Structure 1
Amino acid sequence: MIIHLAGSNLGDGSWTRIKKQKIVESRVRTLALRTAFVISKESEAFGKMVLPTRFGLGAALGSGKQYLNWIHIEDLCQLYLKAVEDGSMQGVYNAVAPEFVTNAGFMKILAKEMKRPFFMLPIPAFLLQLFMGQAADMILYGSRISSQKVIDAGYEFSCPALKETIEATLLEMKEK
């Protein structure tokens, strides 16, 4: 049995204490993948980071010191498949790439791969929220999240390095 509640926030009332207890008591295998910033040619949030960089306006977002946890769409899809097929996986897993990077580090790599300048002055948080809406929260308030539990479960990332992931994704976007 697969219970899919993607997009459902635990705080929105859809997960009542009683519902949670019924799921636990049913002994159904439960698994949650906490998903990081997804890099793909279709990603609206990634596209909104690429756009200003394309025009030479690449800069850190907010303070730039916050971690930006990320994962390539290919790895995310493969993790979902593994989660469904691997009966030993249970509990909460972080769907994040193994390479840690700050927002400033991410934007520097993006600017370098696009052969555009990187500005040292960061973009203020309020402008980012205006431009990206709720998607900005994932970028502005990141913390360092580990993928070790996913790795321990036997998953091997096909896109573990950010530089190569951004390079390949930008190439896909050109071909689009």
Structure 2
Amino acid sequence: MNILITGATGFIGTELCGLLSRQNHDLVVKTRHPERIKGAIRGISSLAQLNPAETFDVVINLAGEPIADKRWSIAQQQRITDSRLNTTQEIIDYFATSESKPALFISGSAIGYYGVGSTAESIDEQGTADNSFSSQLCSAWEACALQAEPMGIRTCLLRTGIVLGKNGGALSKMILPFKLGLGGKIGTGTQWMPWIHLHDMVALIAHCIADESLTGPINATAPQPVTNADFTKALGHALHRPTLLTMPAMMIELLMGQMGEELLLSGKRVLPVKIEQAGFQFRYQRLDEALADIL
């Protein structure tokens, strides 16, 4: 297949390109630094560089400003929003002018769609949004992507959880304090942390490509989410370090503001119902197995 990918040089995108290349797909990636793209993959800096007659079977959109790298000032919230909506709209505009439409558009989203709070209730793809920033961001991002559907393009929205893998992602930021014995639960520790191993993340995307019945929102999370307290315990055990400390919720709110409240102190029990019903088999269903592989 001919596949176009945005955000291909990021944590997930790099792994995905490796998998799709091994499957002998032809890849074109949109990146700010196309000169760094090596091998058989073609790099472009703008969709305007594409020939209108060029045909893609699949377009995958993973681009976006990291959401948890900085405190959410008004300016930072705007950068986060623009980086997602502008790129997605650029792709939609490209579809509208293309002589041949792709069969499939896979666009990123996140479990932040389901909003803030923490309950024992399980949430599948039918869960609703709320008025939090992360939820409204994902809602707008998905609405933009869904403009592809009236063009006859099958559209999948990846509501991704915390992706765990080597050399990047959330885990890389956690390891050092845990290795130093400074790891501990955050707030009450009862907030859920739906996670997914990087291997399963990219395999799930490949499954979406192969299974033409899949459409709409898809929870990209492992079948066994854990609470923050359980995640803390598992990571400490994997690193052979104590996890006796607690980061008080008040401290998170003081240091990180709204970003900390929504991303660290909240979390819902999100389950990958749709992708499992479609026959996808997770290689890493349990957190301890995932951490053992990564660490």
TM-score range, shorter chain: 0.7 to 0.9
The answer to which of 148-157 and 40-49 deviates more is 40-49
Partner of 1:124: 248
Asked whether the 8 Å contact 1:37–1:138 carries over to 2, the reply is: no
Is it true that 1:89 corresponds to 2:145 in the alignment? no
Partner of 1:2: 58
Cα distance in 1 for partners of 2:213, 2:196 equals: 23
Partner of 2:231: 106
Aligned amino acid, residue 2 of structure 1: V
3-state SS of the aligned residue for 2:58?
Answer: coil
* Ranges in structure 1 where 5+ consecutive residues have no aligned partner: 171-176
* Ranges in structure 2 where 5+ consecutive residues have no aligned partner: 1-56, 65-83, 86-135
3-state SS of the aligned residue for 1:34?
Answer: strand
Partner of 2:149: 24
Cα-Cα RMSD: 2.8
TM-score by length of structure 1 reads 0.81
Cα distance in 1 for partners of 2:287, 2:172 equals: 16
- Following superposition, the deviation at residue 23 of structure 1 comes to 2.4
Partner of 2:284: 159
Q: 1:154 to 1:136 in 2, by over 3 A?
A: farther
Partner of 2:104: none
Structure label with greater radius of gyration: 2
State the number of aligned residues. 167
3-state SS of the aligned residue for 1:140?
Answer: coil
Cα distance in 1 for partners of 2:168, 2:250 equals: 22
3-state SS of the aligned residue for 1:94?
Answer: strand
Aligned amino acid, residue 66 of structure 1: Q
- Following superposition, the deviation at residue 134 of structure 1 comes to 5.1
TM-score by length of structure 2 reads 0.50
Q: Percent identity of the aligned residues?
A: 33
Q: Which has the higher contact order (CA 8 A, sep 6+)?
A: 1
Partner of 1:59: 184
More strand by share: 2
